[in-house]
Amino acid sequence: MALKMNVNGQYVVTSKKQAIEALVMMHTLKDEIAEIRKKAGLDELEQDAVELKKAVTGYCVNHGVERLDFEHDDDPMHGTLVKGYDRTWLLTDEDFRSAGAPVGAKSLRRILRRKFGSEDFKRIYARITKRVLDPEELDALVTEGVIDADEIAPAFVEKPRTPYLRIFND
């Protein structure tokens, strides 16, 4: 039985033969779509749109512009510069180096080793790590007063994310 499309546009596959037929049809359609995209120049148009957005984002970043209001087809719109930070704990000296050795930052491992010495350090470090830092356990140690938040603060850094422009309809 040949593969048929339902009235709602969905296909139902009920056999291995139909599954293979569906995969072949899917790839044929993808090839046809790629050819249409190429003939219509859609890839270039999409790349132009990406480059225009990057240029506007660069302008906004370089000139401190947080919002641009504009109209498109009589619809009021605006672009908002979205900024954020990737936040992470610098657990080891390797983490510290791979983060670019931020000024004033230290690895949490180094901080705890200096505070507790070898034996207590191992117990404390094992408690807060499970191959990665366990933030809840670290918070518990701070809450219990075992370590002070100010002591470990240099091991926590924020790295700015690349800003991007988000477009909204008003």
pLDDT tens for 114-124 read 999 988 998 99
**DSSP character string of the chain:** ----B-TTS-B---SHHHHHHHHHHHHHHHHHHHHHHHHHTHHHHHHHHHHHHHHHHHHHHHHT--EEEEEETTEEEEEEEE--EEEEE--SHHHHHHTT--TT---HHHHHHHHHHHHHHHHHHHHHBSSSB-HHHHHHHHHHTSS-HHHHGGGEEEEEPPPEEEEEE-
Q: Say how many domains are in the chain.
A: 1
For residue 46, tell me if it sits in a domain.
Answer: no
Q: Look up the domain containing 94 and give its range.
A: 85-160
pLDDT tens for 51-76 read 999 999 999 999 999 999 999 999 99
pTM for this model (two decimals)? 0.52
For residue 148, tell me if it sits in a domain.
Answer: yes
